């Protein structure tokens, strides 16, 4: 059987999808995958509605948002098979040359015990740039801020620029803190004045990336999707055996603009963060955290129900 699978956009933390494809794990399960580019993040949603693709990967945020706007029907979006179960974003700070007031996290997330720990309240008064390319990172950070007793509106925030632009501005000293994912983290840490001050994955489960189809598509392609799930579930044992350096070599053709050393550093950081679960079930706790972040930020108008957004086959017991 052949299934048309659309990527969301090309990102380092999507490496498990590319590896599963490149290693032939889908084929071993008897399913042929046609991997298609997406014009922009979330563009696959329209292609699903038109019947041009069978499945895509992306954030359950898209499913929750649709359910907030429209009642569930057979053509409604459905999430299944959790791949990225934690938030892949980081806050980076350019440390002032004349001070080392705050301790920051190294590549492994360890703190320097000789310095004062950085807390989110320390963002107040700093020039902070949030992610503009996709909505989920800023929605989730807003909830972190609210949990810390901070009104997100109080930040001196730059919201409309790309992560690449923000990194360049940080290095020029025009920003104090930026929100980015890999490879921008590893690129920035090549500069000694830049430090990691917040690791979003340490929040715990936040439903970040799953497969997405429709409820009708789940029934029509049941055998094919079961094969895809079985293939994805092979990735974690493979990674445990081979490690992130070998993963980088496998997926390098998908990232021609990144050096192998840089890609290895990126994937090593994500592997250490235990970002990927690659399992059939979608975490109820992770779904609830994402939905809470969306509701608290006004992105949706009513609480989201897990059972309205997740395919039955992906229910967590």
Same domain, 209 and 75: yes
Tell me, yes or no, whether 31 and 122 share the same domain.
no
At residue 111, the pLDDT reads 45
Give pLDDT, residue 118: 92
CB 201 within 8 A of CB 209: no
> Based on the domain organization, do 11 and 144 belong to the same domain?
no
What's the CA gap between 49 and 56, in Å, rounded?
A: 12
123 and 164 in a single domain? The answer is: yes
Q: How many domains would you assign to the chain?
A: 2
Q: What is the extent of the structural domain holding 118?
A: 90-203
Regarding whether 82 and 213 lie in a shared domain, the answer is yes
pLDDT for the residue 38: 80
Query: According to the model, what pLDDT value does residue 41 have?
Result: 81
Distance between CA atoms of residues 141 and 120, nearest Å: 10
Q: Is the pLDDT of residue 98 over 80?
A: no
In this structure, the answer to whether residues 177 and 265 fall within a common structural domain is no
Claim to verify: residue 218 and residue 163 sit in the same structural domain? no
pLDDT in tens, 223-269: 999 999 999 999 999 999 999 999 999 999 999 999 999 999 999 99
Looking at residue 117, what is its pLDDT?
A: 87
The CATH code of the domain that includes 33 is 3.40.190.10
Signed CA dihedral, 40, 129, 171, 175: sign only: positive
Backbone angles phi, psi at 131, to 5 degrees: -70, 135
pLDDT in tens, 5-51: 999 889 999 999 999 999 999 999 999 999 998 877 878 888 998 99
Note the pTM of the prediction, 2 decimals.
Answer: 0.93
- Give the contacts of 149 (CB within 8 A, at least 6 positions apart): 121
pLDDT category at 1 given cuts 50, 70, 90 is confident
pLDDT at 165 over 60: yes
Q: Residue 109: is its pLDDT beyond 90?
A: no
Question: Which residue, 143, 176, 203, sits at the end of a domain?
Answer: 203
**Which candidate, 94, 307, 289, places its Cα nearest to that of 196?**
94
Same domain membership, residue 191 and residue 52: no
């Amino acid at each position: 059987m052949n299934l048309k699978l659309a990527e969301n956009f090309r990102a380092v933390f999507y490496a498990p999808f590319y590896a599963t494809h490149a290693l032939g794990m889908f084929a071993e399960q008897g399913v042929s995958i046609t991997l298609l580019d997406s014009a922009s993040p979330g563009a696959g949603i329209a292609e699903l509605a038109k019947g041009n693709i069978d499945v895509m990967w992306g954030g359950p945020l898209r499913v929750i948002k649709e359910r907030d706007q429209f009642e569930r029907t057979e053509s409604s979006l459905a999430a299944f098979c959790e791949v990225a179960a934690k938030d892949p974003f980081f806050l980076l700070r350019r440390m002032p040359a004349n001070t080392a007031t705050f301790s920051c996290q190294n590549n492994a997330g360890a703190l320097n015990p000789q310095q004062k720990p950085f807390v989110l309240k320390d963002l107040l008064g700093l020039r902070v740039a949030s992610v503009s390319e996709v909505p989920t990172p800023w929605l989730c950070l807003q909830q972190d801020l609210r949990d810390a007793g901070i009104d997100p509106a109080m930040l001196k925030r730059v919201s409309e620029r790309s992560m690449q632009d923000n990194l360049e501005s940080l290095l020029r000293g025009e920003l104090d803190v930026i929100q980015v994912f890999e490879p921008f983290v590893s690129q920035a840490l090549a500069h000694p004045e830049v430090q990691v001050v917040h690791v979003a994955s340490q929040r715990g489960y936040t439903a970040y990336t799953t497969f997405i189809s429709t409820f009708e598509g789940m029934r029509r392609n049941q055998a094919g999707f079961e094969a895809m799930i079985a293939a994805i579930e092979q990735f974690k044992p493979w990674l445990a055996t081979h490690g992130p350096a070998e993963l980088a070599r496998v997926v390098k053709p998908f990232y021609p603009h990144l050096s192998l050393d840089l890609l290895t550093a990126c994937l090593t950081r994500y592997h250490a963060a235990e970002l990927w679960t690659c399992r059939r079930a979608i975490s109820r706790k992770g779904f609830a955290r994402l939905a809470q972040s969306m509701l608290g930020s006004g992105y949706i108008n009513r609480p989201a129900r897990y059972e309205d957004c997740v395919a039955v086959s992906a229910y967590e017991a």
